Structure 1
Amino acid sequence: LIGEEWPSHRARSPSPSEREAKISYQNRNWDDQAHLSFMQSHLAEILELLAEPGQLSPSGQAQRDGQISREAVRSLGLLLEGAADHGKPVQPVHRLLVKGPLQTQAGYSTLSRSFPLHTLLSCLQRSLTLIPFGITACLNSGKKQIWAQQVEGAMKRAMIARNTHMAPAGSKMVLMSQVFKQTLAETSDKLTGASIKIHRCSEAFIYLLSPLRSVNVDKCRDSTVVLGPVQTSVHVHSCQNVRVVCVAGRVAIGASSHCTIHAMTPTRPLLLPGNTDITLGPFHTFYPSLEDHMASVGLAVVPNVWDQPLILGTDGLTSSSNNPPSSQDTAHKLLPPSEFHTLSVPFQMEGDTCEVPGGLPPAYQAALDEKQKRIQSWQKTVMEARLNKEQKRQFQELVELKFHEWLLDTGHRQELYSLIPPAVTSLEDPKEAATDTTRVKDRKHSRTASEEG
């Protein structure tokens, strides 16, 4: 299509049209706007690709009387879907075009089971509109949430919006953008079955502990994202120093650096081009309702191939072996067991899960056991030292000093402090506060960390 690609995270065409240049700044982060512009600009060329070779002129242009079969139009379902009217069920585009008013407008013939190309083009051009449940619509008309607070000194305001109160199943979305230096935690029906977009968050700790449909983590840095089971895919793109912990149908990482992915997945993690220093580790946490949530989205503990990535280079698949990464492969590595620690979810919830589902890989469990032995040995040494009261006090002060120094050096102090809920103000939705205060599992936990300086 004149050298231009479908809008994606990758760079646009080096010579965009004047119209595309006009919208590129305003909507560069919201793909649904770019997708609409692309379809409006290239719909004629797309339909020509669907026409039979005999329907095209020697120059490759569609003839005025060209026809497109219903089967060919069916393939447009990859790009287009819609509804006959507001409130009507969403259907693939080929079904909408063969019945009702659109059948006449598109010129569909039940005898030839085909459409006149130019009539179909005109019909689609008149009918194309922005997806009503996309990111732009969620920002414009979705319900704004106050799960996060504005942090003093932050350049941009945190924005969280959702359309889950009005979108049909499969189109529910929650958008989180610009969350900065905060811990944000949520588990509720608002998240269940939703697609999550986490965008440009920095120095944040995000816990979304509900069964989810899909998750995109885009342009985030220095953050931790802990997810409930994700039915389809988790996609991490253009992130730096981000840790993602998930059970997911598929995991993909692209154009990211210094990121760690702790995953349980039945499909091999996909490493897209542009990655640097990606670490893959086993899923290493749990929360009480995790196994129930896994069952609800159809995910189990086996198979689990978190340590068998597929590496996709610019020229296609560059590695498909099950062997550990070689010394020549610097884009990713498996987490060394000596560096492994489990993650504790710091919230009280209801449920029966009390350990990592399926257990840990033997090498990582052995490493944890060895660490536990060292802790026990240290405790025994302290007890046998027979310190007097003053020595115990000095020893305790020294340990606490070293611990606080470690918290500062590692950045964990912010994580701990941001877990403290606000003492006076509640961040719950006003209409929901009366019904949710007694349910720990539906509470929102958030606190700014601006006072850490």
Structure 2
Amino acid sequence: MTDSSPRSSTTEPSPPPPSASTSSPTTPIASSPQIYIHPRREPFEHGLLPIPKLIFSDGTQSLASIKDKLLSLSSSSSSESTHRVNSAAIAETLQISPDHARLVLDTISSVLHNDTDPLVNAKPSEIDDVGIGVFDLVVFLYVQSYKRLLPKGHRDSAAVADVWPSTSAFDGFLSALTPLQLVRSNSRRFMPSQADEEAHQLSYLQKHLGNILALLADTAEGEGEDSLVLSIEKLEHLGFLVYFGEKGSERTPLSQNAPFFANSDPDMPAVPVPAAQVLDWLLQNIASTLEHISERVSAKENGPTVASDQDVPMTDVGSTSAKASTSARGPSFIEGISKSSYVKHASDLKGTSLKVINCHESVIYILAPLRYATVYGCSDATIVLGAVGKAVRVEHCERVHVIAAAKRICIANCRECVFFLGVNQQPLIVGDNHKLQVAPYNTYYSQLEEHMNQVGVVPTVNRWDQPLALGVVDPHDSLSHPAGVSEVQAESAICLDPDQFTNFMIPNWFGGEAVGSTKDNPFPLPDAYMVSQQRNHKNLGEIKHILKETQLEESRKRELSSTLHACFKDWLYASGNIRQLYCLQGD
């Protein structure tokens, strides 16, 4: 069963072509012609950890024995047949540290497909006791072998050069970097298209589903070791990787789309089916989706783009006009914002995932509850993310300030960025990073606490100052790396000096939006930052009092006022904040 090549099946015909006249009323249909199988982006985008001991490249050989050991260490109750393991069992089986084992649990909880799983809803103090189901863990471990699609160059290099600074504060020490770091610092990366990524993920699954099914399947009694069968419960574990759905429809359980389980009596346990039959059905559906993607890409290249295309084209980064777009199934996009201020509310976004891509010299406000958020390829920008209940990923950014209230955040390959965080889990730092700083959360808007409650971000737990750095090399990229580099740990982040900490004020852009109850930062400030803030407020009050009480002639008062205004104007231009005033005036 380790061979994932398609097998012929006498019990399941190929999916019918779009014409309904070719299907027989008595023939089971895998899915309607309008519904395709799709990969879940979450485990591929937010669920990969650069920990070498989690990556198994020998198919089922190692994972089969790991599964057996996990099952022997697992616990199950009479009311729950699912075998679950805690971080201690994970650490013992995989020979990793307790911190890394806990990281595995935290990561799985952020990408798990089943929102009713106890791990998803567990409080931070309960996660170890709840643990994770063994078969979900095995699927998670298998996909750690996935290699991301290489980013491709932007179609308009001149536009990139126009907004991406040619010099940087850290250019002076580039000569001290390793060749790997030098190559990465000089390459501008752009996210592959959604269609390319989906096809790449499906191709990976097409190659490896045979092995994954072998790990989930049971051996039929009396049929020999080579006869593997899959129960309806085991099939649902594949929901970690794939789902059926189209045009904004709700994702349905795989068993409801599988012809061999679709008509099962809910009061009677479904009879397990041969794993080879399940594999054939899945491969047929994947092939159909890959063909569909190819047709859509071809149609886009030869004709006008339609609003429902899953592959949302990039906006040229030199454009000064804002662009936001939403695909029918995938995340909303904010792309190519340059030298502007931009705001999005919950009513402006469809879906619960967002990607901010290639934005430069701008201030972007996302004042909405989200499940997932990605910030990619941005520079010299401030990005405010409202409340993110699952995971944030910030990648390939330079001189960016990110303000986020989130369950967890991963920072990869960034330079000279500052992160103002309210996070319930340790910030994860991976890849080639330089001069990163972390600080406590520093803003609010009127609906912030309502949005945090919606997505499950807890204000009483903030681990902003406990960054966890992993390897400088990401084994999930498709690049070749010099020998020994994979053992180097990523540069971690340092805490921002409390004297440099300031609150960030969000302009009142709500307009027709409902006004919430949040009046202040919901995350308590650490003592050092609170003392610094109080000292700054006191100093400001004293200066205002001195200016008010100073006895000056009218001409001297006008001169002082003019000087203060001139200095303030100089600061507005030097800091780039003058652009925000123009944007506010325009709105």
TM-score surpassing 0.5? yes
Partner of 1:34: 197
| Contact 1:213 1:230 (C-alpha < 8 Å) held by counterparts | yes
The CA distance in 1 between the partners of 2:338 and 2:577, in whole Å, is 15
Residue by residue over 1:305-346, the C-alpha shift from the partner in whole angstroms, topping out at 9 and shown as x without a partner, is 111111112489xxxxxxxxxxx9853111110001101111
| Contact 1:280 1:333 (C-alpha < 8 Å) held by counterparts | yes
Partner of 2:397: 239
Partner of 1:342: 503
List aligned pairs for 1:199-210, cutoff 5 A. Answer: 199-210=357-368
Deviation at 1:293, TM superposition (A): 1.9
Q: TM-score, normalised by structure 1?
A: 0.69
Partner of 1:408: 573
Match of 2:494 among 330, 333, 355: 333
Q: RMSD of the TM alignment (CA)? A: 4.1
Residue by residue over 1:362-382, the C-alpha shift from the partner in whole angstroms, topping out at 9 and shown as x without a partner, is 211110111122222222333
The CA distance in 2 between the partners of 1:99 and 1:412, in whole Å, is 61
List aligned pairs for 1:40-189, cutoff 5 A. Answer: 40=203, 43-48=206-211, 50-51=213-214, 67=228, 69-70=230-231, 73-83=235-245, 89-93=250-254, 95-99=256-260, 110=271, 112-116=273-277, 119-120=280-281, 122-129=283-290, 140-142=305-307, 154=318, 158-163=322-327, 167=328, 171=329, 173-189=331-347
The CA distance in 2 between the partners of 1:274 and 1:181, in whole Å, is 27
The CA distance in 1 between the partners of 2:211 and 2:523, in whole Å, is 51
List aligned pairs for 1:307-386, cutoff 5 A. Answer: 307-314=465-472, 331-347=492-508, 349=510, 350-386=515-551
Higher strand share: 1
Deviation at 1:48, TM superposition (A): 3.8
Partner of 2:349: 191
Q: 1:158 to 1:185 in 2, by over 3 A?
A: closer
The CA distance in 1 between the partners of 2:381 and 2:425, in whole Å, is 25
Deviation at 1:51, TM superposition (A): 3.0
Higher helix share: 2
| Contact 1:44 1:121 (C-alpha < 8 Å) held by counterparts | no
Q: 1:403 to 1:173 in 2, by over 3 A?
A: same
Letter in 2 for 1:175: F
Match of 1:289 among 447, 459, 464: 447
Structure 2 stretches of 5 or more lacking a match?
1-56, 60-143, 153-189, 219-225, 265-269, 310-314, 475-488
Match of 1:6 among 146, 162, 169: 146
Deviation at 1:89, TM superposition (A): 4.2
Q: 1:295 to 1:129 in 2, by over 3 A?
A: same
Q: Does 1:229 align with 2:387?
A: yes
Q: Percent identity?
A: 24
| Larger CA deviation: 153-162 vs 1-10 | 1-10
Match of 2:558 among 393, 396, 418: 393
Q: 1:192 to 1:334 in 2, by over 3 A?
A: farther
Residue by residue over 1:342-370, the C-alpha shift from the partner in whole angstroms, topping out at 9 and shown as x without a partner, is 01111154222211114322211110111
The CA distance in 1 between the partners of 2:471 and 2:229, in whole Å, is 36
Letter in 2 for 1:344: M
| Contact 1:260 1:280 (C-alpha < 8 Å) held by counterparts | yes
Letter in 2 for 1:262: F
Partner of 1:448: none
Q: 1:285 to 1:112 in 2, by over 3 A?
A: closer
Match of 2:461 among 292, 303, 322: 303
The CA distance in 1 between the partners of 2:550 and 2:400, in whole Å, is 42
Q: 1:46 to 1:346 in 2, by over 3 A?
A: same
The CA distance in 1 between the partners of 2:292 and 2:554, in whole Å, is 70
| Contact 1:66 1:117 (C-alpha < 8 Å) held by counterparts | no
Letter in 2 for 1:8: R
| Larger CA deviation: 301-310 vs 351-360 | 351-360
Kindly indicate whether structure 1 or structure 2 has the higher relative contact order, using CA contacts under 8 Å at least 6 residues apart.
2
The CA distance in 1 between the partners of 2:383 and 2:411, in whole Å, is 14
Residue by residue over 1:76-124, the C-alpha shift from the partner in whole angstroms, topping out at 9 and shown as x without a partner, is 33322114x8786423445522547899xxxxx9465533477346523
Residue by residue over 1:129-151, the C-alpha shift from the partner in whole angstroms, topping out at 9 and shown as x without a partner, is 4899xx9999954379xxxxx99
Secondary structure of the residue that 1:286 maps to in structure 2? coil
The CA distance in 1 between the partners of 2:288 and 2:252, in whole Å, is 14
The CA distance in 2 between the partners of 1:383 and 1:89, in whole Å, is 62
Deviation at 1:248, TM superposition (A): 0.8
Secondary structure of the residue that 1:202 maps to in structure 2? coil
The CA distance in 2 between the partners of 1:91 and 1:32, in whole Å, is 22
Secondary structure of the residue that 2:238 maps to in structure 1? helix
Q: Does 1:273 align with 2:431?
A: yes
Q: 1:224 to 1:377 in 2, by over 3 A?
A: same
The CA distance in 2 between the partners of 1:159 and 1:86, in whole Å, is 22
Deviation at 1:33, TM superposition (A): 2.3
The CA distance in 1 between the partners of 2:191 and 2:505, in whole Å, is 37
Secondary structure of the residue that 2:470 maps to in structure 1? strand
Partner of 2:415: 257
